[in-house]
Chain A
């Protein structure tokens, strides 16, 4: 653990708390997403194979496309005791020859593919994936999608996505690929691509990204009206359906509720002795690690797992929720307008490029009134670990206390409960080093036992 260079002031105030009113709506949308995989084709739609879920609004032009992402059964498997179900899937992938260094989340996905689970509904119905789809932001996701598409016999459509802030050449490349992709989709599906639906989906992707950024801005309030753990679930509709009007409406409801909670000082769970960020994606099968500060009266407020908002960087180095296309003077009336605006939106995400990771995390800590940062060292996630160590050094140089723990977002065998959360474990000792003490008879947040489990 790092030596703390700055004085930490513990906030001993007790706040009121309350469950989220929009939580049931989030669950409803989530359930719809799950069943979508099994119902889409019956309703004349398609089922894609892929994990990145990049630019899903673009797919809207070809009609309704279900996107089961990391595998339709991931959450159910994560809820098995000790996430044994996930471990089994990882081992299925390893039995096919995928080695120990391959991303655990992708092996969990591939295990579902190889075992036939990805194609089988809880009712025993079988589906056949229509095509594979992804961009190439993460090499492991891209290669995983290639393997999965081959395994189910689905043709693969990839958008090669250059890194960094896109120069003109990269923009032209992206535009040409999207235009080709439309031709490809029409040929593969036999359906005419609908520009009106493209425009609608693309606009909605802008709106949902902006609305979610506005939601996250509400978390700057003390006390935060939601914890990172709350927001990780509340963001789910955005992940899988950010191109849908229904999700725009949902996020507006969420934003209104967060504003109301912030105004009335309704906190995430009643205490806020210290505010922390959690950087790098946590173990997806052990989400309750995000609740670990609560035993010490502290909370995770924000972190990289919530990076689904659209931001704009200002000259003073801070970032604010992005302006809408209309506010930016972008008219989206034609296919080309829509495709160009996708690239414009991708550029906003590239602003948070890994080269700036240290600064980005530092700004998040500063702007969200954060006292300390926890970083997850994800053993097999090679993409996420780019510049993670450099970011840690940067935060330390800035005097921000940093704690680390090691596991894996997708492989439960890498989550050593005792080492991470047990007495003397990586996280408890970090919390204690910040001056926190374990609270007796702590009432955990408003989440249900089922929510806490996963």
Chain B
């Protein structure tokens, strides 16, 4: 039946996203394996998988909280990381066997530090990433950090990570990236075959479950999406830009305002899937190369900028008519880059709007602003 595979796969994807704790626990029960939570995508995730451990992205719940107040300052620390820590402090991640943080971003550092201080967890590791990604020596350095991480994982699991298992993880993750890319291509159509909220659900689900199972769902989607009938006239084509964002309801609300979200540049969205690992004999080097070649975060877009051109290119590929910067409260790295990133877009007649994200968001206020923005686009 037309679209039946799509519906079934999407239902499972929605279950993974909305019940991700249960999904991870089910995986543990089924496989007897370990689960690690991670706080940033600037890690060689494939290595964790190759060690036989399921890596899952730690997410918030978008509920008001005060439990993090003694450790993270509500006037300053980024809401995403505060929300993540709140979940840990409330015991919602009690099934985790380990947590992986990333040095250099002060909000992630704080979340990681407070997590390891106040939440019992068997294994923790802070991955030392690089921020001057345009530097000549950065790949060699990251290769060394990947190797240190590998040794730490091996020491903890008590098992060496074989080349074969790394190859398997790389191929599995690359397959995921290829499949998500194929799905993303359907958003380039004049009438996109999936909505921005649906894509967000698909993207998030891939960070919360075993890629081997997830890839089967993606294959079903890829097969069935072309058959999908979407009514025309859904609204203005918009790109969403920001750091971590897992607020699906907000994207749904924005899409209910006469907007079609056709592409995004989130660390928890399309950006996660863009770059494949190019296999080579030195597997750790290959992982390091990907860390340098993937689209950069604002913090690491140094010394020369790549993001303005990258965003403009995305906008052109997806025939974007306007861009919305979704900047979390406290995210000064995004704020630092905003003037440089908006300029090429606006110079190319792609107007921009900024919405400041919080734990919970004022959807009605956003509606007024987005609708006013739409009017400027339509005029």
Residues of A within 8 A of B (CB): 96-99, 101-103, 136, 139-140, 142-144, 146-147, 150, 156-160, 162-164, 167-170, 172-173, 176-177, 180, 354-355, 377, 379-380, 382-383, 385-390, 393, 406
Once bound together, how far apart are the Cα atoms of A170 and B129, in whole Å?
10
Number of interface residues of B (CB under 8 A): 52
| With contact pairs A156-B303, A160-B138, A169-B145 given, residues A143 and B336 touching in the complex (Cβ less than 8 Å) | yes
Once bound together, how far apart are the Cα atoms of A167 and B331, in whole Å?
29
| With contact pairs A156-B303, A386-B109 given, residues A102 and B131 touching in the complex (Cβ less than 8 Å) | no
- Taking A136-B302, A177-B135 as known contacts, 4 extra A-B pairs with beta carbons closer than 8 A to each other, sorted by chain A number, are A143-B298, A162-B103, A169-B147, A389-B70
Instruction: Find out whether the CB atom of B75 lies under 8 angstroms from the CB atom of A379.
Output: yes
Question: Nearest chain B CB to A75's CB is how many angstroms away?
Answer: 25
Instruction: Find out whether the CB atom of B113 lies under 8 angstroms from the CB atom of A390.
Output: yes
Instruction: Tell me which residues across on chain A come within 8 A of B130, comparing CB atoms.
Output: 160, 162, 173
Instruction: Find out whether the CB atom of B332 lies under 8 angstroms from the CB atom of A103.
Output: yes
Instruction: Find out whether the CB atom of A390 lies under 8 angstroms from the CB atom of B338.
Output: no
Question: Nearest chain A CB to B134's CB is how many angstroms away?
Answer: 9
Closest 9 CB pairs of A and B: A169-B144, A97-B339, A160-B132, A173-B141, A99-B335, A143-B336, A176-B137, A156-B303, A382-B106
Instruction: Find out whether the CB atom of A173 lies under 8 angstroms from the CB atom of B329.
Output: no
B342 within 8 A of A: yes
Q: Which of B76, B109, B339 contacts A96 (CB 8 A)?
A: B339
Instruction: Find out whether the CB atom of A98 lies under 8 angstroms from the CB atom of B335.
Output: yes
Question: Nearest chain B CB to A3's CB is how many angstroms away?
Answer: 15
Name A139's closest neighbour in chain B (CB-CB).
B299
Once bound together, how far apart are the Cα atoms of A180 and B303, in whole Å?
14
Instruction: Find out whether the CB atom of A389 lies under 8 angstroms from the CB atom of B144.
Output: no
Instruction: Find out whether the CB atom of B336 lies under 8 angstroms from the CB atom of A147.
Output: yes
Instruction: Find out whether the CB atom of B329 lies under 8 angstroms from the CB atom of A101.
Output: yes
Once bound together, how far apart are the Cα atoms of A364 and B333, in whole Å?
32
Once bound together, how far apart are the Cα atoms of A177 and B137, in whole Å?
7
Instruction: Find out whether the CB atom of A164 lies under 8 angstroms from the CB atom of B141.
Output: no
| With contact pairs A169-B145, A389-B71, A389-B73 given, residues A163 and B128 touching in the complex (Cβ less than 8 Å) | yes
Instruction: Find out whether the CB atom of B141 lies under 8 angstroms from the CB atom of A170.
Output: yes
Instruction: Tell me which residues across on chain B come within 8 A of A102, comparing CB atoms.
Output: 332, 335-336
Instruction: Find out whether the CB atom of B107 lies under 8 angstroms from the CB atom of A139.
Output: no
Instruction: Tell me which residues across on chain B come within 8 A of A354, comparing CB atoms.
Output: 109, 113
Name B337's closest neighbour in chain A (CB-CB).
A143
Instruction: Tell me which residues across on chain B come within 8 A of A157, comparing CB atoms.
Output: 303
A-B contact list, 9 entries, CB within 8 Å? A99-B332, A139-B105, A146-B305, A150-B340, A162-B103, A169-B148, A173-B140, A382-B76, A390-B71
B198 within 8 A of A: no
Instruction: Find out whether the CB atom of B144 lies under 8 angstroms from the CB atom of A173.
Output: yes
Instruction: Tell me which residues across on chain A come within 8 A of B333, comparing CB atoms.
Output: 139, 143
Q: Mark B73-84, 1 if CB is under 8 A from A, else 0.
A: 101110000000
Q: Mark B277-308, 1 if CB is under 8 A from A, else 0.
A: 00000000000000000000011001111000
Question: Nearest chain B CB to A298's CB is how many angstroms away?
Answer: 27
Instruction: Find out whether the CB atom of A385 lies under 8 angstroms from the CB atom of B148.
Output: no
Name B304's closest neighbour in chain A (CB-CB).
A156
| With contact pairs A158-B303, A160-B138, A163-B103 given, residues A98 and B339 touching in the complex (Cβ less than 8 Å) | yes
Instruction: Find out whether the CB atom of A173 lies under 8 angstroms from the CB atom of B137.
Output: yes
Instruction: Find out whether the CB atom of B331 lies under 8 angstroms from the CB atom of A101.
Output: yes
Question: Nearest chain A CB to B308's CB is how many angstroms away?
Answer: 11
Q: Mark B93-104, 1 if CB is under 8 A from A, else 0.
A: 000000000011
Instruction: Tell me which residues across on chain A come within 8 A of B302, comparing CB atoms.
Output: 136, 142-143, 146, 156, 158
Most-contacted residue by chain A among B104, B107, B327, B340 (CB, 10 A): B104
Question: Nearest chain A CB to B109's CB is how many angstroms away?
Answer: 6
Name B339's closest neighbour in chain A (CB-CB).
A97
Question: Nearest chain B CB to A383's CB is how many angstroms away?
Answer: 5
Instruction: Tell me which residues across on chain B come within 8 A of A383, comparing CB atoms.
Output: 106
Most-contacted residue by chain B among A162, A172, A379 (CB, 10 A): A162
B117 within 8 A of A: yes
Instruction: Tell me which residues across on chain B come within 8 A of A140, comparing CB atoms.
Output: 332, 336
Once bound together, how far apart are the Cα atoms of A281 and B329, in whole Å?
23
Name A157's closest neighbour in chain B (CB-CB).
B303
Once bound together, how far apart are the Cα atoms of A388 and B109, in whole Å?
12
Instruction: Tell me which residues across on chain B come within 8 A of A169, comparing CB atoms.
Output: 141, 144-145, 147-148
Once bound together, how far apart are the Cα atoms of A383 and B77, in whole Å?
10
Instruction: Tell me which residues across on chain A come within 8 A of B132, comparing CB atoms.
Output: 136, 158-160
Question: Nearest chain B CB to A372's CB is how many angstroms away?
Answer: 20
B164 within 8 A of A: no
Instruction: Tell me which residues across on chain A come within 8 A of B336, comparing CB atoms.
Output: 98, 102, 140, 143-144, 147
Instruction: Find out whether the CB atom of A167 lies under 8 angstroms from the CB atom of B148.
Output: yes
Q: Which of A162, A390, A406 contacts B117 (CB 8 A)?
A: A390
B220 within 8 A of A: no
Once bound together, how far apart are the Cα atoms of A180 and B137, in whole Å?
9
Question: Nearest chain B CB to A327's CB is how many angstroms away?
Answer: 30
Most-contacted residue by chain A among B109, B138, B330, B338 (CB, 10 A): B109
Instruction: Find out whether the CB atom of B73 lies under 8 angstroms from the CB atom of A385.
Output: yes
Once bound together, how far apart are the Cα atoms of A27 and B128, in whole Å?
41
Instruction: Tell me which residues across on chain A come within 8 A of B109, comparing CB atoms.
Output: 163, 354, 386
Instruction: Find out whether the CB atom of B338 lies under 8 angstroms from the CB atom of A99.
Output: yes
B110 within 8 A of A: yes
Once bound together, how far apart are the Cα atoms of A102 and B337, in whole Å?
10
| With contact pairs A103-B332, A158-B303, A406-B75 given, residues A164 and B144 touching in the complex (Cβ less than 8 Å) | no
B275 within 8 A of A: no
Once bound together, how far apart are the Cα atoms of A150 and B145, in whole Å?
31
**Residues in B331-357 with C-beta less than 8 Å from chain A:** 331-333, 335-340, 342, 354
B126 within 8 A of A: yes
Once bound together, how far apart are the Cα atoms of A146 and B106, in whole Å?
19
Instruction: Find out whether the CB atom of B113 lies under 8 angstroms from the CB atom of A387.
Output: yes
Instruction: Tell me which residues across on chain A come within 8 A of B145, comparing CB atoms.
Output: 169
B72 within 8 A of A: yes
Question: Nearest chain A CB to B153's CB is how many angstroms away?
Answer: 16
Instruction: Find out whether the CB atom of A176 lies under 8 angstroms from the CB atom of B303.
Output: no
Name A143's closest neighbour in chain B (CB-CB).
B336
Once bound together, how far apart are the Cα atoms of A234 and B135, in whole Å?
37
Once bound together, how far apart are the Cα atoms of A169 and B140, in whole Å?
9
Instruction: Tell me which residues across on chain A come within 8 A of B304, comparing CB atoms.
Output: 156
Question: Nearest chain A CB to B136's CB is how many angstroms away?
Answer: 6
Once bound together, how far apart are the Cα atoms of A146 and B299, in whole Å?
11
Once bound together, how far apart are the Cα atoms of A146 and B128, in whole Å?
22
Q: Which of A139, A147, A180 contacts B136 (CB 8 A)?
A: A180
| With contact pairs A379-B76, A389-B70 given, residues A164 and B137 touching in the complex (Cβ less than 8 Å) | no
Once bound together, how far apart are the Cα atoms of A143 and B144, in whole Å?
25
Instruction: Find out whether the CB atom of B104 lies under 8 angstroms from the CB atom of A139.
Output: yes
Instruction: Tell me which residues across on chain A come within 8 A of B303, comparing CB atoms.
Output: 146, 156-158
Instruction: Tell me which residues across on chain B come within 8 A of A172, comparing CB atoms.
Output: 140-141, 144
Instruction: Tell me which residues across on chain A come within 8 A of B103, comparing CB atoms.
Output: 162-164
Question: Nearest chain A CB to B131's CB is how many angstroms away?
Answer: 5
Most-contacted residue by chain B among A103, A146, A379, A383 (CB, 10 A): A146
B61 within 8 A of A: no
Name B130's closest neighbour in chain A (CB-CB).
A160
Most-contacted residue by chain B among A139, A156, A170, A380 (CB, 10 A): A139
B165 within 8 A of A: no
Instruction: Find out whether the CB atom of B330 lies under 8 angstroms from the CB atom of A160.
Output: no
| With contact pairs A140-B332, A146-B303 given, residues A163 and B104 touching in the complex (Cβ less than 8 Å) | yes
Instruction: Find out whether the CB atom of B144 lies under 8 angstroms from the CB atom of A390.
Output: no
Instruction: Find out whether the CB atom of B342 lies under 8 angstroms from the CB atom of A97.
Output: yes
